[in-house]
Amino acid sequence: MHQNIQFNQPDQNQHLELPWIQWIQSDGFRILADERFRELPVFGPLTHVWNTSPKCFISAGEDSKSIKSAERIWSWLDQENTDRGHVLLIVGGGTISDLGGFVASTFKRGIPFVLVPTTLVGMIDAAIGGKNGLNYSDYKNQIGTFQLPDLTYIDVNFISSLDALERTNGWMELVKHSLISDRTLWNEIQNVDIHLPGAIAPWVPRAAEIKKHIVAQDFLDESLRKSLNFGHTVAHALEWKAQQDDVQLSHGVAVGWGMLWSLAWSNSLLQRDSTDFELASRSIRMWLDTIPAHHQSHWLSALDPAELWPAMLKDKKNLDGAVLDVALTQIGEAIWNQPVTLNKFTSIWKQVFLSLETN
């Protein structure tokens, strides 16, 4: 399953390359967009479609990944007399693309859709791989479909309006892609100052291709694709706990903390301390420390790891009640389905997070 991805760099003005664009009627597009694009600009080739198509705006965020939002959009598509000859153009970050992809892949058993990711997380992760989904019953992505978009159009111009937190969120996923499968990329990015204008855009196509390549080999998430969850089991547990404790914790930052745990755990599986992993942990800390979210280290260092365990047990990658996670054997090489016990989880947790504020 190869995903159709098109990139637009700042100096380019690439037209949407949709194979079937000729037979879409002039009223062929329906647009689902993040509420913020009532104000923020869209660019180049999107402008015409944007100005001439009906739009439904929805707020970004985890609360919008709900059946209620899906119903609202299905109902709007119905009012707009949408059928399988129309295309849903989905403009926004990962929450909007997860929701929009789910809506498009279920409305009338599936209508064509195009993803236009506007966050870094969206560009290199959420808009690639065909996983669409909603949150349900307090847990993330419990309901969803596997359906590739007809096109993912990645215009890096959208990065320019992202704030420091959103840049860091996406950067953590980009770092993860390099750590699990591309040592060369990791060597090139480990000192990038992501808060300098234009510093991120050059790395986007390579990172997006990493995910595309992994997904092409294992679309249904049965083996290699699991490696993309590096750092995510702990991240999802942290997000679940943060929600309970009313603490603001974004997904990418949670993945950053999760990777710190996973690197230390990888060391323990290798039964030696890898200098590479130590250096990777330091870089991740450096990026996390550039945003106010590093204040969450107070919350983290006070957490009892046993309180996270119920969420670890709930992870979709688990089998027969055992927590299975992804580790590294070296930078650029991941192994998955590695069992984690509560004892091991706790001892690594203490090693990484109890010393957090004194490091």
Ligand X SMILES: NC(=O)c1ccc[n+]([C@@H]2O[C@H](COP(=O)([O-])OP(=O)(O)OC[C@H]3O[C@@H](n4cnc5c(N)ncnc54)[C@H](O)[C@@H]3O)[C@@H](O)[C@H]2O)c1
Per CB under 6 A, residues contacting ligand X are 34, 36, 40, 60-62, 65, 92-96, 98, 118-119, 121-122, 125-126, 129, 131, 140-141, 158, 161-162, 166, 169, 251
Identity of the residue, 126 or 180, whose beta carbon is nearer to ligand X in the bound complex: 126
The total number of residues shown for the chain amounts to 359
Least separation in angstroms between residue 234's CB and ligand X is 15
Least separation in angstroms between residue 135's CB and ligand X is 8
Report the distance separating Cα 225 and Cα 219, nearest Å: 7
Side chain identity at residue 55, one-letter code: K
Least separation in angstroms between residue 339's CB and ligand X is 24
Identity of the residue, 61 or 202, whose beta carbon is nearer to ligand X in the bound complex: 61
Least separation in angstroms between residue 117's CB and ligand X is 7
Identity of the residue, 95 or 181, whose beta carbon is nearer to ligand X in the bound complex: 95
Identity of the residue, 30 or 140, whose beta carbon is nearer to ligand X in the bound complex: 140
Least separation in angstroms between residue 343's CB and ligand X is 29
How are strands ordered across the β-sheet holding 87-92? 5-8, 151-155, 113-117, 87-92, 29-34, 55-58
Identity of the residue, 90 or 185, whose beta carbon is nearer to ligand X in the bound complex: 90
Least separation in angstroms between residue 36's CB and ligand X is 4
Q: How many CB atoms lie within 10 A of CB 108?
A: 13
250: exposed, middle or buried (Cβ count in 10 Å: 0-12, 13-18, 19+): buried
Side chain identity at residue 188, one-letter code: E
Report the distance separating Cα 135 and Cα 143, nearest Å: 7
348 and 269 in contact (C-beta within 8 Å)? no
Least separation in angstroms between residue 163's CB and ligand X is 7
Identity of the residue, 224 or 354, whose beta carbon is nearer to ligand X in the bound complex: 224
Identity of the residue, 116 or 303, whose beta carbon is nearer to ligand X in the bound complex: 116
Q: Which residue's CB comes closest to ligand X? A: 94
Report the distance separating Cα 327 and Cα 348, nearest Å: 13
Identity of the residue, 227 or 267, whose beta carbon is nearer to ligand X in the bound complex: 227
Q: Which residue has the tokens 């080739």?
A: 45
Least separation in angstroms between residue 354's CB and ligand X is 28
Least separation in angstroms between residue 131's CB and ligand X is 4
Identity of the residue, 233 or 267, whose beta carbon is nearer to ligand X in the bound complex: 233
